[in-house]
Amino acid sequence: MKRIAILLVLCFISYVQSFAQIHIDTTGYIKNNPLLYSLVISKNDKIIYQQYFNGQDSTTLFNDQSLTKSVTALLIGIAIDKGYIRSVDEKLTDFFPELKMDTDKRKQDITIRQVMNQASGFYHEGVNVGALLNIPDPSGYVIKAPLVSEPGKVFRYNNAATHLLSVILTKSTGMDTRAFAKKFLFDPLGITTFDWKKMNDGYYDGCGLLSIRLRSVDMLKLGNLVLNKGVYDNRQIIPAKWIASIINPEVTYKTTWGLDNSVYGLCWYHADYQGTEITYALGWGGQFMFVIPSLKAVIMTNSNVADATAIKEAALITGRLFPELFKQLKD
């Protein structure tokens, strides 16, 4: 009994020490921030910090906004691996044959990659996302609307077009996006609780306007899946080749938000931060999942999504919280 008691004490000390590796100044950024909801950090596949704020807790399903795009990108890779989709360079005409009849012949050459790179040229809803949500057939409307730019030439962040990825998953696999995600991604990771809503066209939201909702610790699992080249519990959940494409996409476009000097490709962001390569997912209002391969670390944050404070909150995370955490993880 004495030996067991000693082992339990040692385990507890180890547990406490693992959470003590990250020291947050609660008198500053976090304490005075009513918008931050969660901060969860893992290193070497172990959670070393987990804290919830402003009435949230570990059971909360957070509104992940455009992290939905990054999750959908993982599903596209699984669908390619299983032969449902040929490649990211497959043309959209295979899934939307009506494009062949469009008077703008440029639409016939638009690819999945261009949609995932926010460079399809399809209709862009601008700041009025409510209009897109109220359209009875948003995916049909997007592909029929006049192009706003030359496909592949212009980066134009596009919720309307990204939703097409969910339509493509459903049409190609014969399963709705939620069911496909549950069977091939969430169930293998032990993610049992999540929420996902459909757009008015009957397809699950692929862009984040209605958003997938996950616990922070479960979204963190997806970050660790990327960190570990698609492997979880000695099982290859996502092909390593696809993860390599996510981390080092062939084509990228510069962005003016997120971490400084970020680029975008295949629904994920990338930055060289103080000489360290970082791949990350970003959602409106301070939803971030930073994957730092060289440090074997993942940082997950969720925040309030209110439009009035969204940009400021995201800037506080990238400009104040992330630099502090990065320094501690690197030391």
Of residues 48 and 23, more confidently modeled: 48
> Please, what is the angle between helix 164-173 and helix 67-81, to 10°?
30
Confidence at 30, pLDDT banded by 50, 70, 90: confident
Would you state the pLDDT for residue 25? 59
Residue 319's pLDDT band (cuts 50, 70, 90): very high
At residue 16, does pLDDT exceed 70? no
Identify the pLDDT of residue 13: 39
For the cut 80, the answer to whether the pLDDT of residue 11 exceeds it is no
What pLDDT digit, counting tens, does each position of 175-213 carry? 999 999 999 999 999 999 999 999 999 999 999 999 999
Residue 51, burial from CB neighbour count under 10 angstroms (0-12, 13-18, 19+): middle
| CATH topology assigned to domain 30-330 | Beta-lactamase (3.40.710)
For the chain, the domains span 30-330
Question: What tens digit of pLDDT does each residue of 114-144 get?
Answer: 999 999 999 876 646 778 888 899 999 999 9
pLDDT of residue 131: 80
Give the pLDDT confidence of 284-314 residue by residue, as tens digits: 999 999 999 999 999 999 999 999 999 999 9
Q: Which residues of 272-282 are buried (b: 16+ CB within 10 A; e: fewer)?
A: ebeeeebbbbb
Predicted TM-score (pTM) of the model is 0.92
